[in-house]
Amino acid sequence: MVAGDQSDPVDVLIIGGGPGGYVAALRAAQLGRSVTLVEMKRVGGLCLNEGCIPSKQLARFAAVYASVRAFASEGMPPLSGPPDMAAFQRARVAAVDTLVGGVESLLKSAKVTVVAGEARFVGRTRVCVQTGEDSVRFFDFKDVVIATGSEPIPWAAAPFDGERVVEASRALEWDSVPGSLLVVGGDYIAVELTVAWARLGSRVTLAFRDDRLLPGFDADLSAAALRGAQQVGAEVLLGAPVSASDHERVAVSVGRRPRIDGLDLAAAGIREVKVDAQMRIDRHVFAIGDVTGGPPLAHRAMMQGRVVGDVLGGKNSAFDARAMPQVVFGEPELATVGSSEGVVGRFPLAALGRAVIEAKATSGFAKLVFDGEGGPLVGAHLAGPRATDLIAELALAVEMGATAEDLALTVHAHPTFAEAAFEAAEVALGRPIHVRPRR
């Protein structure tokens, strides 16, 4: 049989229905393109189905469990038993189903055609989609967007076995708390798994080959992550070799790599996935999200999805974000955006009323970095409750080129954690009210 005898002509073809792909599909459809989306599992991708969303559900569940116990001294009644992880897992599945259903209905009402299967290129303008064991479909596209995401890199010392040694996604799905858990890695995923399972009662060892957690983050955040992991009862081994043998379970997060195996990019004449500001590899070939390399962040992929959707719709759009925030749902919550180099204003949460009454989170801080005296904000690094939400104000400030005066003169409601932002700006300006000024 000649490949492609029966090929369906399509307008825009998107390979991968994760946060990048489905957003690109919706935006391109909004702008009048006819979109076909190929997804091999469920729309929403790894993030919605087995990454960001369920891991935040686990983090919240563990944090509530821990805080009930933390407030025992203030009269909170004790818990009557261990956490029911089977019930949690049912709730996790239900929440994911709700959100996947939401994305499906958005795609449906935007008239995006979703094809289930795995795609590979068989020509410059053609893909073959394996829709079943013995069935394939061919599509001829005008424009194609590669949004296949990334996949976890295995740990050299012990490969994934799907049961005892698993990738991070599987470590969200256990219906009992492991007696002992080894978490291998030092990225935000490793930190989040460590904190959640330690809070739920597992004896957790976090082992990372580097000499500090969260490499690439501001050093103060790395230090806060280490303190926090130890506070929740985890043992942290840095820069030391470790063996998988002494632990009931092993969760591995040692990095992710672009998922391009099996795509046969060469058949489309693509030598490497290298994109310009319009996310273009070639005139009619685009790529977005983790597959383009760079930090594997859903919000980055979503922004790139909007850009690519715009470009496909004929808009003059570009991916040119100055600020790319990153957040860690650990103990404490951590958030970062931009640089660590410049004029620094650091405000401790110990001086913030809200922090003292809530969560006993007085070891946190807000650290703002400005480009010279009177210059714009170029970085912000937060540790403490709600840090993952508070970073949004500071990302906006970086994008807008807001100065310390802009932040200091913006009224922040009291008593909130957000006050830490203007307080830190006042520290940078040398005139703080709630801490002693710098000498």
Partner 1 sequence: MARYEFKLPDIGEGLAEAEVARWLVKVGDRVVEDQPVLEMMTDKAAVEIPAPGAGVVVEQRVGEGDVVKIGAVLYVLDSDAAIGGMTVAAAPPTETPEPRPGPPPQAGEGTAVLAPPAVRKLARDLGVDLARVKGSGPGGRISAEDVQRSAAAPAPAAAPALAGDRAPLRGVRRRMAETMAASAKSIAHVTGFHELDAGEFVALFRRLRDEHTARGRRFPFDALLVRATALAVHRHPIFNSSLDDERMELVMHAEANIGVATATPEGLIVPVVANAGGRDLAAIAEEVDRIATAAREGHAAVADLRGGTLTISNTGAWRGAHGTSLIPPGQVALVAFGRVEDRAVVRGGQVVARPMMPMSVTFDHRVIDGEQGLSFALTLRELIESPEQLL
Q: Is 403 in the site for partner 1 (CB under 8 A)?
A: yes
Q: Is 388 in the site for partner 1 (CB under 8 A)?
A: no
Residue 324 tokens, joined: 């790319």
Distance separating alpha carbons of residues 200 and 380, to the nearest angstrom: 31
Which stretch in 49-57, 97-105, 395-403, 412-420 sits in contact with partner 1 by CB under 8 A? 395-403
Which stretch in 40-48, 58-66, 274-282, 355-363 sits in contact with partner 1 by CB under 8 A? 274-282
Bond from prior residue into 152 cis (ω within 30 degrees of 0): no
Planar angle of CA 54, 332, 60, nearest 5 degrees: 30
Q: Is 125 in the site for partner 1 (CB under 8 A)?
A: no
Instruction: Residue 108: count other Cβ atoms within 10 Å of its Cβ.
Output: 11
Give me the residue label for tokens 């913030």: 352
Which stretch in 61-69, 201-209, 226-234, 320-328 sits in contact with partner 1 by CB under 8 A? 320-328
Q: Is 376 in the site for partner 1 (CB under 8 A)?
A: yes
Distance separating alpha carbons of residues 321 and 101, to the nearest angstrom: 30
Which lies closer to partner 1 via its Cβ, residue 321 or residue 350?
321
Q: Is 429 in the site for partner 1 (CB under 8 A)?
A: no
| Residues 6+ away with beta carbon under 8 Å from 212 | 186, 219, 222, 223, 226, 238
Residue 204 tokens, joined: 């957790």
Distance separating alpha carbons of residues 412 and 430, to the nearest angstrom: 19
Active site residue 284: no
Q: Is 269 in the site for partner 1 (CB under 8 A)?
A: no
Contact call for residues 36 and 158 (beta carbons, < 8 A):
no
Q: Is 292 in the site for partner 1 (CB under 8 A)?
A: yes
Q: Is 123 in the site for partner 1 (CB under 8 A)?
A: no
Query: What does DSSP say about strands 35-39 and 113-116: parallel, antiparallel, or unpaired?
Result: parallel
Using CB under 8 A, pick the residue from 79, 318, 357, 409 that binds partner 1.
318
Which residues in 215-254 contact partner 1 (CB under 8 A)?
215-218
Using CB under 8 A, pick the residue from 111, 271, 283, 436 that binds partner 1.
283
Q: Is 17 in the site for partner 1 (CB under 8 A)?
A: no
Q: Is 255 in the site for partner 1 (CB under 8 A)?
A: yes
Residue 372 tokens, joined: 């010279």
Distance separating alpha carbons of residues 22 and 107, to the nearest angstrom: 8
Using CB under 8 A, pick the residue from 294, 313, 363, 389 that binds partner 1.
294
Alpha-carbon distances of 186 from 215, 237, 290, 339, 393, rounded to whole Å: 8, 10, 19, 20, 27
Query: What does DSSP say about strands 249-252 and 180-184: parallel, antiparallel, or unpaired?
Result: parallel
Of all residues in the chain, what percent are helix, strand and coil, respectively (each to 5)?
Answer: 35, 25, 40
**What's the min distance (Å) between Cβ of 95 and partner 1?**
28
Please give the size of the binding site for partner 1, defined by CB under 8 A: 43
Site string for partner 1, 329-358 (x = CB under 8 A): -------x-xxxxx----------------
Q: Is 260 in the site for partner 1 (CB under 8 A)?
A: no
**What's the min distance (Å) between Cβ of 73 and partner 1?**
37
Number of H helices, E strands in the chain: 11, 22
In which element (H, E) is residue 45 found? helix 45-50
Q: Is 371 in the site for partner 1 (CB under 8 A)?
A: yes
Residue 312 tokens, joined: 């496909």
Using CB under 8 A, pick the residue from 32, 101, 179, 401 that binds partner 1.
401
**What's the min distance (Å) between Cβ of 374 and partner 1?**
6
Q: Is 423 in the site for partner 1 (CB under 8 A)?
A: no
Q: Is 314 in the site for partner 1 (CB under 8 A)?
A: no
Contact call for residues 340 and 395 (beta carbons, < 8 A):
no
Which lies closer to partner 1 via its Cβ, residue 339 or residue 416?
339
Distance separating alpha carbons of residues 404 and 55, to the nearest angstrom: 35
Q: Is 275 in the site for partner 1 (CB under 8 A)?
A: yes
Contact call for residues 36 and 24 (beta carbons, < 8 A):
no
Catalytic residue among 284, 381, 412, 414: 414
**What's the min distance (Å) between Cβ of 293 and partner 1?**
4
Using CB under 8 A, pick the residue from 400, 409, 437, 438 that binds partner 1.
400
- By the criterion CB under 8 A, which residues form the site for partner 1? 215-218, 255, 274-279, 283, 292-296, 316-322, 324, 326, 336, 338-342, 371-372, 374-376, 378-379, 399-401, 403
Residues designated as active site: 414
